[in-house]
Amino acid sequence: MKPYIMIPTYNERENIANLINEILNLKIKNPHIVVVDDSSPDGTWKIVQDISKKQKNVHLLLRKKDKGRGAAGRDGFIYCLKHGADIIVEMDADFSHNPKYIPSMIKELKNADLVLGSRRLKDSKEIGRSLLRRFVTLAANLYITLMLGINVKDCNSGFRCFKRKVLEGINVEKLQSKGPAIVQEVLFKTQLKKFKIKEIPITFLNRTKGKSKLGIPQLAAGYFMILKLKLLYLMGKI
């Protein structure tokens, strides 16, 4: 087994060292961590660089151009495939996605090709998010489900565990979203390729350190990207 945990970061100085530590303390065989940082002005990349000098299974992918959550995720996936990962976990750096779920997500790959940490199952919980933010997520979820017909309850979850063949099958080099809509693009393409997707309940905790990068411009661009994906699909281009 060669699992890679891929974490995109932008200004996560207060979270990243603790998160890496927690992941390394999990009971996972042969874990690798790759942090994909877009030259964060707060020096997140420097912290990761220092850790990677001592921990050979911690890697920094420092990006200088084409910045954004989407392009970072794409490059992170390419990196994992290139280095021989057979399992790829994608998660946020802000502790919204508790690393304690990673071992059970990996185990669940026995029954699915993609396992997704979901906020919308009976045993799921969401803690610390404002009513407005929850409404925004719910509305986005409804829009995405209607537009793309994704058969998943939580289309916005960026906490996911993939078998290698899924990322190979959806052709990650061709991912188009520059921003956070990459989460839905990957899910849409995974469903189109008929890979088996399984949701497991998680307790999602709003970040307590650092700031969210999802503002109104990113949200609007995300809605537009979903529309673009739908049109590309209708034109037979994906």
Ligand X SMILES: Nc1nc2c(ncn2[C@@H]2O[C@H](COP(=O)(O)OP(=O)(O)O)[C@@H](O)[C@H]2O)c(=O)[nH]1
Contact residues for ligand X (CB under 6 A)? 8-10, 12, 36-38, 67-69, 72, 92-94, 96, 212-214
Question: Can you tell me the distance from the alpha carbon of 92 to that of 17, in angstroms, rounded to the nearest whole number?
Answer: 13
Q: Which of 9, 44, 96, 177 binds Mg ion (CB under 5 A)?
A: 96
Q: Single out the segment in contact with Mg ion by CB under 5 A; choices: 48-56, 89-97, 184-192, 225-233.
A: 89-97
Strand-pair category, 32-37 with 114-118:
unpaired
Shortest spacing between CB 119 and ligand X, in angstroms: 11
Question: Can you tell me the distance from the alpha carbon of 29 to that of 204, in angstroms, rounded to the nearest whole number?
Answer: 25
Shortest spacing between CB 8 and Mg ion, in angstroms: 10
Which residue, 14 or 86, is less far from ligand X as judged by CB? 14
Interaction partner, residue 36 (ligand X, Mg ion, none; CB < 5-8 Å by kind) = ligand X
Shortest spacing between CB 126 and ligand X, in angstroms: 12
Please list, residue by residue across 45-79, b when 16 or more beta carbons sit within 10 angstroms of its beta carbon and e when fewer do.
bebbbebbeeeeebbbbebeeeebbbbbbbbbbeb
Which residue, 67 or 193, is less far from ligand X as judged by CB? 67
**Type of residue numbered 203:** T
**Type of residue numbered 223:** Y
- Given the rule CB under 5 A, which residues bind Mg ion? 92, 94, 96
